[in-house]
Amino acid sequence: MTENQSQQKTWFITGCSTGFGREIAKKAISTGYNVVATARNPAQIEDLATEHQEHVLILQLDVTDKAQVRATVQMALEKFGTIDVLVNNAGIGYFSTVEESVEEEARRMFEINFWGLMAVTQEVLPHFRSQNSGHIINLSSVGGLAAFPSVGYYNATKFAVEGISESLAKEVAPLGIHVTLIEPGAFRTDWAGRSANRTKTEITAYMETVGPRINRPSGQEMGNPAKLAEAIMQVAELPNPPLRLLLGKDAYAVATAKFGDMLNDIENWKETTMGTDFEE
């Protein structure tokens, strides 16, 4: 791909201040795409445009603010005339037992991880439909396929993203629009650090299952965010991209174990399953 060819596409990326969003934005910029890089604090990402003023637009965006979502998408269209790839990356984590979780914290996470993602998606969809093309890339998690102790409500947000993305993919496929779920395992980002809140676990019965995960230090994960960005670039150029892309050896191991267990349960209980219909 030449630089002129890649510049014909515009990427709109949320949550670019750190982690995956920043790496994806850097890779898209270096590839030569037009890039709309957004963050709640745009001062944290102004450096992304330092050498690329003509094809990088830095904008403030809180995905939970629908008026700001609408204005930001409009500014992107005014600048570049099109959006071709939407990367819904903005998100936060939350560590707690399910029983001890604080509802306010869980609801805030849903507002960002799910409703914020959908607000941006719904704002961009009319444009994608008008041009009969577009690619929605939703940052999910292997935690959207398999659940873990200590992050139950986070798992719930990602399970929700998985479900609505799968439904959306079937609705928009005839319109020339693609949807891809990115499902990383543990990557060396700030997700478990500054980007995640914690509620102290005080019920001793949970210390064995939840305690070690809540207190696990971040920064030693095997996943390389730069390689994740490269993988997303590769998928975005495919004429028929996958609905789901697992990233990381741990993600592969977790997902295959989960679906193996599910298949075992399905087959072991097949007789009961098949016996609950009316007799013909």
Segment (H or E) for 183: strand 177-184
Which of 193, 195, 201, 196 has its CA nearest to residue 101? 201
Res 8: pLDDT: 79
Average pLDDT, 10 consecutive residues per value, the chain (280 residues)? 57 95 96 96 94 91 98 98 97 94 96 98 98 98 96 97 98 98 88 66 88 70 91 97 97 97 98 93
Res 195: pLDDT: 55
Q: Would you call 218 a catalytic residue per the annotation? A: no
In the chain, the largest separation of any two C-alpha atoms, in whole Å, equals 71
Pairing of strands 244-247, 85-88: unpaired
Res 2: pLDDT: 40
Q: Would you call 79 a catalytic residue per the annotation? A: no
Q: Would you call 154 a catalytic residue per the annotation? A: yes
Res 1: pLDDT: 39
Name the residue with tokens 């994740």.
Answer: 228
Backbone angles phi, psi at 213, to 5 degrees: -75, -40
Rounded Cα distance between 5 and 50, Å, is 22
Res 222: pLDDT: 85
Output helix, strand, coil percentages for the chain, rounded to the nearest 5. 50, 15, 30
Of the candidates 17, 96, 101, 140, the residue annotated as catalytic is 140
Q: Which domains does the chain carry?
A: 3-249 (3.40.50.720)
